[in-house]
Amino acid sequence: MKQIKFLNKELKEIFKKELKIKVKENNKIYDFNRWDSLGNFNVLLACEKKFNIKFSNQEFSSISSFKEILKVVEKKKI
């Protein structure tokens, strides 16, 4: 549980830094003008760097919400 809170906080920081938006857990791609497909790609790249993980091509094209990103990052970090 502690790890989820940490990842949640870190992920929100990535959104703030990369897209200059303040996301909530239930936000999805296109909820913000800045969070478009390119913005999503940049967020996922930043996650790869920050958490030292790799997303598959399938994940890059299918992940489209804060919750999905959090879930995949959590799964890859375990």
Instruction: Output the pTM of the full model.
Output: 0.94
Contact 12, 48 (CB under 8 A): no
Q: What angle do CA 33, 49, 29 make, to 5 degrees?
A: 20
Interatomic CA distance for residues 38 and 42, integer angstroms: 6
User: Position of tokens 């929100």?
Assistant: 12
Residues in the chain: 78
pLDDT in tens, 4-62: 899 999 999 999 999 999 999 999 999 999 999 999 999 999 999 999 999 999 999 99
Domain architecture of the chain: domains with CATH: 2-77 (1.10.1200.10)
